[in-house]
Structures are given as C-alpha cells and as structure tokens.
Amino acid sequence: MNILEHLDKDNLHHAYLIEGSRNEILPEIISFLEEINIKTSANPDFYDIAYDNLKIDDALNLRAFGTEKSFSTGKKVFVISANQFTLDAQGVLLKMFEEPTLDTHFFLIMPDTAALLKTVISRFYFISTKPEMKDAIKEAEKFISMKLADRIEFLKIFAKTEKDEDEESTSPQPSPYQGEGDFESPRIRASKFLNALEVALHRKILSKKTDIDTSFFKHFFKVREFLRQPGSSVKSLMESVAIVVPNL
C-alpha cells in the first residue's frame, strides 16, 4: 500500500499511526515531507527517533518536546518508530494526542499495533500497510505437521537475538537508536508467527469432520500477553506453543 494516498498536504492530521515495515514506510514519509517543504535534515523541528520498547521516560520526553514551541515559524514533525509501547508510556501520550499542539505532527510507525490500547489508536489517523500473510501461513502449516523436536528447532529463529534484546531492556537508561534496517525484535516476529499459526489452525480444523479440542487458542492468548512483558523469555513461550499445538 502507498501511504501517500492517505496524506493530504493541505490538511495534515496531527497524528498518524502507520502499521508496517519501517524500511518501507520511512522513505515515503521523508519524500512527502520534502514535497511540502519540510526539511528532514539540518532542521531542529524535525525528529526521527526509533525505539525497541518505548517506555514511560521516553514518553515523558516526547510529550515535553511535543508541547514546546518550534524553533522556526513552520511545523514541528516527529517520526517515531517503535516495536512496542509500555502501558505507562501509552497513558502518558494519550493526553498529548487528546489535546494536540498547533502545527505539531506525529508519524508513529509500528510493525504490529495489536498491543496498543484502543483509546490510543482512536486518537490517530490509522493506516495499515500489512502485506498478505500467505508465506507466513505456509510456514505455519509446515510447523503444524512437524514433530515436536523439529518444531523446537524451527522456533530458534525467534530467539536468536533475544539475549541482546533483554540486555538492552534491562539497562538503566535505554537510549533511542537510529538505524537503517528493519529492527523487528524476537517478540514481534513471534507475535506475527502466532497470527499466521492461528489462521492455519482454523483452516485445518474447519477441514476436519471430527471434533478437535481447541483449548490451545486460549494458550496463544496468554503467550501474547507475556510476549508484551519485558524480560519474559521468547524462547520458552514459543516452545510452550510448540507443545500445545496438535499435529493435524
């Protein structure tokens, strides 16, 4: 999806929430801003910041910057990329988006908005660029037919950078990082796989003529909740998924 069709240069919304890949979305935002004469380099009123897990201190800083007057007579623009928001951070930002500052605009990019409070999402112009899950569903179908040992081996792809992520999340004052590349964390990758796995399992179950115990879907819900908690083990959570999924 081309996000430019949602951006009106004559009537810019105060806050956009864009779901999808930062790699694909950021260049489109930069191009749009340059087109409407907002400089994205050497401009003290333009902010491009990326977080893995945006926490309450980060939100307080953003709120402070967002309510300050611009250095110029033009617009102040924030492009914020984040994998996750803590609940405390969402609460801090909610009030800011309820009462927007004149000529201040936010573009929030997230790979998955499922963890955001509905009240927060409602304050944004929401744009989703999620591609079809065809390839992910095919992988999920293979996973369902695997033996347990093979499932455990397959799930290692979701925990290969978990150690680095946990070290960052436990640092006293985590700093926003800038980066070129997609920075999806193991938690986001695991959550996306769960989405595809649910679709694949629903299809398998519908194709069966016998009754199947579907209590594992409740387990998926619990796993998602724990995936949103910093410090939880992605490896252990996904291994529990491997155990409860029936071989269909």
pLDDT score, position 171? 34
Q: Is the pLDDT of residue 2 over 80?
A: no
- 57 or 160: which leads in pLDDT: 57
Go through the chain and tell me how many residues it has.
Answer: 248
- Convert the chain into a string of H (helix), E (strand) and C (coil): CCHHHHCCCCCCCCEEEEECCHHHHHHHHHHHHHHCCCCCCCCCCEEEEEEEEECHHHHHHHHHHHHCCCCCCCCEEEEEEEEEECHHHHHHHHHHHHCCCCCEEEEEEECCCCCCCHHHHCCCEEEECCCCCHHHHHHHHHHHHCCHHHHHHHHHHHCCCHHHHHHHHCCCCCCCCCCCCCCCCHHHHHHHHHHHHHHHHHHHHHHCCCCCCCCHHHHHHHHHHHHCCCCCCHHHHHHHHHHHCCCC
Residue 101 above 80 pLDDT?
yes
| Domain locations in the chain as residue ranges | 3-128, 134-244
Homologous superfamily of 3-128 in CATH? P-loop containing nucleotide triphosphate hydrolases (3.40.50.300)
Per-residue pLDDT tens digits for 214-232: 888 889 888 888 887 878 8
